[in-house]
Structure 1
Amino acid sequence: MRAVRIDEFGGPEVLVPVEVPDPVAGPGQVLVRIAAAGVNRADALVRAGVYHRAGRPPLIPGVEASGVVEAVGEGVTGVRAGQRVMALDGVNAPGFYAELAVVPAERVTVLPEGVELTQAATLPVAWLSAWYCLLRLAKVTEGDTVLVKAAASGVGSAAVQIAAGAGARVIASAGSAEKTAWAAGFGARDTLDTSAHPDDAEVDEVLRLTGGRGADIVLDTVGGPAFARSLREVGHGGRVVALANVALEPSVVDTRDFYPKNASVLGFQLTNLQIHGYDPRADLRELAERVAAGRYRVPVEAVFPLERARAAHERLERREHRGKIVLAVQDGA
């Protein structure tokens, strides 16, 4: 089968198209013929050798995909050959930058009609992360004010819609006026251009927009110094959810910025959640059903053929994209 493999850690140039043997489904596993694979920040970290579960080369990256079930192994129930599915596996790292992948059955979710395979390839990581952080951890409710950082990203654009759909007032924060305007189209009431309000000015603007109260929920998808600002931007009894550190920098915080407000700091890491027993299928089914019903829009900015995975990673790392980047593994995906 065709695949893209990393034989040594490095930049996007180490993503090399190769031919490798077809995998075979074992007991409890599902063999999926991949239609499309989502491109994520975690993939770039794996490629660079700085992801905590990167393993050692040679390896095939990719932790989310959509496709059609080719075969099922012994003991598998609830899914059968020919069904359209989405797959997630940050635990075993099967490598979805490939035509075929073997996945544990509990990481495969059957798709409802009305969800395109290209859209479905973006749901298991970015959308599920936004869903879990807002609905399960922060417990967003109608009337909450939610600050979404990096709102033009895959997670951010999903979070804007999920929070707005729950009846929250959303403040969409991003690094340019163009990105914030784009994110506003998904239901944000207010926007914050961080290029015009750097560092402490960002905190001041959040406080101004909230009448000095601060946000009820801050979804911090950036990390590093931005996390310290998130603690200052959250209001009394609020919740800060930290789910990434794309800045790849330490977060130096002053506990006085949050404990006097009785604020909560919540951490989220999808791979670790799975390791400790989280079964994503129920959440992914509900999420996909809402997409199928038209309640959420799934923005896919760019689709690259599998062999151009290097170009997809180069675009990802320029941070110019809005929404998601996808690799089309099969024609028509």
Structure 2
Amino acid sequence: MAALMQAVQIDEYGGPEVLQLRQLPIPAPGEGEVIVRVMAAGVGPWDAWIRAGKSVLPQPLPLTPGSDIAGIVVKAGPGVNGFTEGDEIFGVTNRRFTDGYAQFAKARVDMIAAKPSSMTFEQAASMPVIAVTAWQMLHEFAGIKAGQRVLVVGGAGNVGGYAVRLAALAGAEVAATASDAQADHVRDLGATEIIERGMNQLDAYAASFDAVIDTVGGVALEQSYALVQPGGVVVSAVQKPDSARLPQRVRSDFLLVSVGTRILEKLARLADDGQLETRLGDVLSLADARLAHQMLEGMQHKPGKILLVP
């Protein structure tokens, strides 16, 4: 009889009520995979999109949501080099961003890295998707250089906070939108200018930024178009910018994150050097997965990344 584990599963798409805590067989690793004893799993908006049937990727049912994990390798599959039993890792599970809300999870070895030694499992599980998203927006699309001016729309959010910090570490001059209540936190991350979250007084910022890093979308993204200078960049983690409304000679795109070992290792080094910190929100049990998804959809919760601890 196969060994069992607790995991969260859905049989149909829908609201948080479709999440079910179940006993499922512990998976076996395939080629290039390891089995991880999950010590903490992150909860993100993409988990809710998958649960609701809004994923851009095919997601056959039944499925276990969740992709951000940190834990301990318990078994390595064929063709695995560099990870052995007992290694502490963090990263994501697979390219479909599923299978993380469980006591044990399969993970592709090209999507994980050694856990930062300075971080707890909970801190490490809070980083992968959101920190890699911010890194790729800044470095792989915008090509941020020291001395450039960067606007982060949504500087107090999970992705936005990392974008502020990573842009500041790159030597950029960082402005960010934030509420009065979050302004000091965003300044601590490295922003030198705070723009009121409603973006109501923007005349002074017209065509003054080399890059706009958007984590909000909607009206805020549209208002930012006039703030980027010719030759600049607008990149959003939420929706595709309207190129027809952008100034001439402005590049734009909607970024789909691609989590890989190389960037995770860079982030781990920054964390271990004390240059990158996490912001943990509510930490819940697997049995509280529905509550975690209710928080994603508007229920009041602590600022920061929501986590599930098996």
2:142 corresponds to 1:148: no
8 A contact 1:115–1:288 mirrored in 2:
no
Aligned match of 1:194: 197
Aligned match of 1:295: 275
Root-mean-square deviation over aligned CA pairs: 2.0
Which is worse superposed, 285-294 or 182-191?
182-191
The Cα of 1:256 is off from its aligned counterpart by: 5.0
Aligned match of 1:26: 30
Aligned match of 1:83: 87
Write the deviation string for residues 177-234 of structure 1: whole angstroms up to 9, x where unpaired. Answer: 2133432221111112224x4xxx3xx42x41x4x43211101122234332232221
Q: Distance in 2 between matches of 1:184 and 1:59?
A: 40
Aligned match of 1:231: 225
Residue aligned with 1:185, SS? helix
Q: Distance in 1 between matches of 2:211 and 2:271?
A: 24
Q: Distance in 1 between matches of 2:39 and 2:282?
A: 15
Write the deviation string for residues 130-173 of structure 1: whole angstroms up to 9, x where unpaired. Answer: 01111222111222111111222110111111011112121121
Q: 1:238 to 1:83 in 2, by over 3 A?
A: same
Q: So what's the TM-score if we normalise by structure 1?
A: 0.85
8 A contact 1:43–1:62 mirrored in 2:
yes
Unaligned runs of 5+ in 1: 275-279
- Which residue of 7, 20, 24 corresponds with 1:16? 20
Q: Distance in 1 between matches of 2:243 and 2:36?
A: 47
Q: How does 1:20-99 map to 2 (within 5 A)?
A: 20-53=24-57, 55-99=59-103
Q: 1:49 to 1:289 in 2, by over 3 A?
A: same
2:228 corresponds to 1:244: no
Aligned match of 2:244: 255
- Which residue of 264, 271, 274 corresponds with 2:251? 264
Residue aligned with 1:2, SS? strand
The Cα of 1:318 is off from its aligned counterpart by: 1.5
Q: Distance in 2 between matches of 1:146 and 1:285?
A: 24
Identity rate, percent: 34
8 A contact 1:153–1:324 mirrored in 2:
no
Unaligned runs of 5+ in 2: none
| Number of positions where the alignment pairs a residue of Structure 1 with one of Structure 2 | 305
Residue aligned with 2:277, SS? coil
Question: Which amino acid is the alignment partner of residue 323 of structure 1?
Answer: G
The Cα of 1:17 is off from its aligned counterpart by: 1.1
Residue aligned with 1:38, SS? strand
The Cα of 1:23 is off from its aligned counterpart by: 0.5
Aligned match of 1:160: 164
Question: Which amino acid is the alignment partner of residue 310 of structure 1?
Answer: R
Write the deviation string for residues 107-150 of structure 1: whole angstroms up to 9, x where unpaired. Answer: 22122421221111122200011011112221112221111112
The Cα of 1:254 is off from its aligned counterpart by: 6.7
